[in-house]
Amino acid sequence: MQKHNFSAGPAVLPASVLREAARAAANYQGMGLSLLELSHRGPEFTAIIEEANALMSELLNLPDGYRVVWLTGGASTQFYQVPMNLLNEDETAAYVNSGVWADKAIKEAKVFGNVQVLASSKEQNFTHIPKGYKIPKDVKYLHLTSNNTIYGTQLHKFPKSPVPIVCDMSSDFLSRPVDVSNFGLIYAGAQKNLGPAGTTAVIVREDMLGTVRRHLPSMLDYRTFIKENSLYNTPPVFPIYVSMLTLRWIKKNGGLKGMQRRNKTKAALLYNEIDNNPLFRGTVETADRSLMNICFVMEEKYAALEDDFMKICKANGLVGLKGHRSVGGFRASTYNALPKKSVQALVDLMQDFAKRKA
């Protein structure tokens, strides 16, 4: 049975990428050795990481002065690595609290300096993106979270900021074009749109670095990895390789504009069904609906049918649809690599279920 993978992460990868990665894991380029066995200092992996950097630069149209860094630890490590590298104890950074991950980033930043929370939707259970706040000119940076996987909200337009924007783009990175020149630093765990879990991409403007007075451990200093082309220590070789293959796939399929078209089409298809199906309803404000993580629940009078619908989904090969415990219901993650036919399969099931139960 064909599977339709709606998991929030680790998430679906392009089928062609998985096939190529499987071949490399067994026998890389006919060498008789697995890529997993090759030295990260050898010419084979040097070529991989250089291609990954070049593709990232091309797809994002990186301006001069920006560098690509491959790290480990996911966004959760970046929650503290960012303020550790950018914020002195007597300085203030501005944060917008739009979800659980933003909340965690705020907690970590307070260890290294002052934090001013400009706006929050926490009291409304993060059902919308905070708006209408004023950005101070005297803060070191503004931290935003572009997409919220748990609640299904997304920042569709970035604010004009008098200070550098630092953005956690983990769950919508490479899903749409962005003007990188508006950002001082972007970070993203790979396991949504870029590749498998195990590596983290950081895009940083070099002049953001070297301004803190504290001693930085070598492994937590972005400059260490810039200087060593992300090869200061043994990097996550295989996740970077699969990410490079995914970057090739993105380029082949229309780049970031192509991804945006695909994602808008898929999201519109599912949101239209949610809005018109008598059994279901969305959970967040319409203007802030995510194109990546589509959250919905049963209408209250049909709530007892939730388990039945989940069983039908599973029986038909639709996996990863259970909503986060903070929201309940269902969550369909429609990342770049999820084909439209998977969304159509979900819509068909929703329509059939409504015909029989409504």
Task: Assign 326 a pLDDT band (cuts: 50, 70, 90).
Answer: confident
Per-residue pLDDT reduced to its tens digit, 182-192: 999 999 999 99
Number of H helices, E strands in the chain: 9, 14
Q: In this predicted model, what pLDDT tens digit does every residue of 136-154 receive, in sequence order?
A: 999 999 999 999 999 999 9
Whether the upstream peptide bond of residue 10 has omega within 30° of 0, thus cis, is: yes
Buried b or exposed e, range 156-166, using 16+ CB within 10 angstroms: eeebebebbbb
For residue 2, pLDDT beyond 90: no
φ, ψ (nearest 5 deg) of residue 185: -155, 135
Please determine, for residue 317, whether its predicted confidence score (pLDDT) is greater than 90: yes
DSSP of 295-306: EEEE-GGGGGGH
What would the mean pLDDT of 261-278 be, rounded to a whole number?
98
pLDDT digits (tens, 9 = 90+) for 115-124: 999 999 999 9
- Write down the pLDDT at residue 31: 96
pLDDT band at 314 (very low <50, low <70, confident <90, very high): very high
pLDDT at site 80:
98
* Continuous H helices in 87-135: 100-109
CATH topology of domain 255-357: Aspartate Aminotransferase, domain 1 (3.90.1150)
Please check the confidence at residue 212 and state whether its pLDDT lies above 90: yes
Predicted pLDDT of residue 93: 98
Q: Which residues are marked as active site? A: 101, 168, 192
Quote the pLDDT of residue 76.
98
Does residue 1 have a pLDDT over 90? no
What are 100's two structure tokens? 């659980």
Contact 71, 230 (CB under 8 A): yes
CATH number 3.40.640.10 is the correct assignment for the domain at 15-252: yes
Domain ranges of the chain: 15-252, 255-357
Query: Mean pLDDT for the chain?
Result: 97
At residue 198, the pLDDT reads 97
Report yes or no: 248 and 271 within 8 Å, Cβ to Cβ: no
Q: What pTM was computed for the model?
A: 0.97
The closest alpha carbon to 357, from 307, 320, 315, belongs to 307
What is the structure's pLDDT at 358?
A: 85
Which runs of consecutive H residues, i.e. helices, occur in the chain? Answer: 15-26, 43-60, 74-86, 100-109, 222-227, 237-252, 255-276, 306-315, 340-357
